[in-house]
Amino acid sequence: MTNSTQPKTFLFEKYLSLWFSLSAPVTRTQYIATGFSLMLIKYLGEYLIIYATTGNAYAIPAFLTPLLSERMDAIVTMTHLVPWFLFVFTLPFLWISVSMSVRRSVAATGSSFMGLLILVPFLNFVIMLILCILPDGKSSSLKTAIAPTTSPQPSNRVRSAISGMFISIAGSLVIYALSISTFGSYGLMLFFGMPVFIGIVTSYMFNRHALQSLGQSVIVAELGILLCSGTLLLLAFEGFICIAMLYPLAAVITIIGAIIGRSMAATKASGGHVTASLLCLLPLLAGADLIDNETPVYEVISSVIVNAPPEEVWPNVIGFSELEAPPAWYFELGIAYPLRATIDGEGVGAIRYCEFSTGPFVEPITVWDKPHRLAFDVTEQPRAMNELSPYRHVHPPHLDGYLICQRGEFRLKRLADNRTLLEGSTWYEFKMYPQGYWTLWSDLSIHLIHERVLEHIKKLSEN
């Protein structure tokens, strides 16, 4: 029995080393076999998740394109927890893709630059094809370059880490200014390019004199992203809430940057080479935002069962009194929450006003099907939150015109025993990228707002 299990164990460890190692060179055959196999596994995994939760098919073209608008037909009816599961499911594949591409680039060209371009949407497939074609000419150089070296004096190591952090802070402020002022976009350049930049710079500087362990390199990179986030907070560019929402994504991407930076230091890349690589990468990330200029419309659906017939629920739908329950802790942090609703008139053309903590929503009625359905457009809306900050007034540009509510609807369905299934829907656009990540937060926030309103209507109707 022992002899039969040893080959399987060895094979498993071999693949783990190939996928997650930072030192093992990657041959052309290994890159092709692993790339296509894992791509197939990832597609089948996402297909099963989407089909099981929505009943929708997941077309291969929608899987291959980086444009989220192409995937909307498949994922639009997901519950708000499933996209988070897909996000976590994607992380190991992202890690393997970057790690193997960087090592394959070093093995084939002696440089990690081509592997770095695997992060650029649209260009990544071209880079993968090139890495599949290039011969295994320089794989031995990787082994030599990354051989363990003598650690420098602690003072030198600390000095290198601090230098990398200061450079990453200065560079991240430049990226922030370019993204917001020049490109007018909260997108891949800011939320993907900046963490990669921080991870690469801090890790490269930390490892350039002598190769350090992966764990130490990642810790230094994560300290870099924390310091950069704190700088944006202290300069009143951003608030606590948005930085906290971004951090789960930024922390993962910073680790990827740390891997690349350590690899560049291991292959003796010059500082000029690293700078040139980053300067080539960031405009390409900004360009990907400009290409993906179609904003999908998302729908968030919430429901509650009310122990009252639709005729008694309807009056509390078209307008409801002040919410007595104090807002939950997440609303107290600054996220806008509903206070009351009033209506001016009756029938189609009436104007409904839904007062939030940040101001009113103005909602002209478009469907008045008493007591079954109430639908309305949104012609005016307040900001989505008041940013939590040590300063009295912080107003980042993304608070205006990035999350746009288009319309809403209430549906009242009669159930047995004089009960009502009350459903609420909100349709909205979100002009921040990557939308697949940011809509996880917006869907969750809108769902919590729905719950506050629906529970209040339930309470009023049942009393």
Q: How far apart are CA 97 and CA 116, in angstroms?
A: 10
| CATH no. of 297-462 | 3.30.530.20
Q: How far apart are CA 381 and CA 404, in angstroms?
A: 8
CB 274 within 8 A of CB 419: no
Domain locations along the chain: 17-147, 153-292, 297-462
Task: For the chain, 463 residues long, give each residue's pLDDT as a single digit of tens.
Answer: 445 555 555 555 666 777 766 667 788 888 888 888 888 988 898 888 878 877 777 777 777 765 555 555 556 555 556 666 777 787 788 778 877 887 888 788 877 667 777 767 677 788 888 888 888 764 444 444 444 444 555 657 788 888 888 888 888 888 888 788 776 778 777 888 889 889 988 998 898 888 888 889 999 999 999 999 999 888 888 888 889 988 888 998 898 888 878 877 876 655 555 555 665 666 656 555 555 556 778 899 999 999 999 999 999 999 888 887 778 888 888 889 999 999 999 999 999 999 999 999 999 999 999 999 999 999 999 988 888 888 777 778 877 878 899 999 999 999 988 899 999 999 999 888 777 788 888 998 999 999 999 999 999 999 8
Would residue 392 be called left, alpha or beta, if left means φ above 0 and alpha means ψ between -120 and 50 degrees?
A: alpha
The 3 state secondary structure assigned to 150-169 is: CCCCHHHHHHHHHHHHHHHH
Q: Which residues pair with 377 in a beta bridge?
A: 407
Q: How far apart are CA 299 and CA 443, in angstroms?
A: 8
The alpha-helical segments, DSSP class H, found in 292-382 are 310-318, 329-332
